[in-house]
Amino acid sequence: MGRPRYILLVRHGESEGNCDKSVNRHTPNHKVCLTANGHYQATAAGSVLREFVEKLDINGEGDNKNARSIMFYTSPYLRARQTCNNIIEGIKDIKGIEYDIREEPRMREQDFGNFQSTAEEMEKIWEERAHYGHFFYRIPHGESAADVYDRVSSFNETLFRQFQQDNFPNILVLVTHGVWARVFLMKWFRWTYEEFESLKNIPHCQYLIMKREKDKKFSLKTRLHTWDDDDVEDEEIDEQVSREVEDEVCFNTKNRVANPEDLDIQNIIKAQQDVIKSTREKNRMLKEMYEKIHNSKNGYTDYAAKRISRFKIDNQSVANSAEDLAT
């Protein structure tokens, strides 16, 4: 079978809509473009991918597959396409590189309902969604995350059929959006909706790394952060990321640190320090909003009590990665 060795999900770079929500009142969501900082983030992601690919032996897979072959799937939204193009600029001249690009409408972000209304009206919608639940709440004239789940399921079936081809590339890169990426992982690893709702959004241009193990199934190597994670100061980020890299390598190699199997992806994880910092302030504001809602008199329950299960690495294990089209 032609399953890739690596599946990398990456959220688009910072967009104009991320910086100024009023943009969504007059610009269609699919036409919202990257900011200058977003282009910088995407270019940096291209450099990270380049460093990773250059360390792969061209003929290192042992199955007549070029280890430096890549399939890019991108959301058709402008900010995702721009991100994909910036990433490709960083890898297109690597010796032995082979890559293909496909746009996939099923990878578009959750539909938030055409042009958005006033800030006051949108705030009411976000508060209502917080009460109702992020996964099942359908945005007026738009989608719920559950709707996104349905098209992710269809897309996964397409991927599984393509994995039957012996010549499928060694690396699959999915350039997409925050909600879509989390729903993709939820479907793939069979997470509960409570686990989905416990996750913080993914930083712009952070790679989420899935790696095929010896049993042919994929495991998630990137630690995802939840709303009940303790925040750390900026100066502690470097130490935290280094510790997470070490913990993940030990976990996934059963503490065989002398010959760790995941050193091939270590440089990608270490390169995420800046993108982790970039979303900390936004996450802090969101957390305060949700806690205020659920601790208010009109709130249903305490916010912390609604999170049924804390997200741990065993929820991201190979055991959950059963690629069964019948389920």
Looking at the DSSP bridge assignments, the partners of residue 9 are 174, 208
Q: Are 115 and 26 in contact (CB under 8 A)?
A: yes
Q: Are 181 and 174 in contact (CB under 8 A)?
A: yes
Q: Are 16 and 23 in contact (CB under 8 A)?
A: yes
The terminus-to-terminus CA distance of the chain in angstroms comes to 21
Catalytic residue among 14, 16, 104, 109: 109
Looking at the DSSP bridge assignments, the partners of residue 207 are 10
Question: What is the DSSP-derived secondary structure letter of residue 107?
Answer: G
**For this structure, is 248 an active site residue?**
no
The span from the CA of 286 to the CA of 207, in Å, is 22
Q: Are 210 and 107 in contact (CB under 8 A)?
A: no
**For this structure, is 123 an active site residue?**
no
Ordered alpha helix ranges (H), the chain = 16-19, 36-54, 78-91, 119-132, 145-162, 178-189, 193-197, 234-252, 266-270, 273-278, 280-295, 303-306
Question: What is the DSSP-derived secondary structure letter of residue 62?
Answer: S
Torsion of CA 158, 159, 162, 168, to 10 degrees: 160
Q: Which of 226, 142, 148 is nearest to 187 (CA)?
A: 148
The span from the CA of 102 to the CA of 76, in Å, is 9
Count how many Cα atoms sit within 13 Å of the Cα of residue 280 in the half-sphere of its side chain. Answer: 16
Q: Which of 245, 251, 220 is nearest to 7 (CA)?
A: 220
Q: Which of 62, 55, 46, 63 is nearest to 99 (CA)?
A: 46
The residue with tokens 């578009």 is: 108
Kindly list the catalytic residues.
12, 109
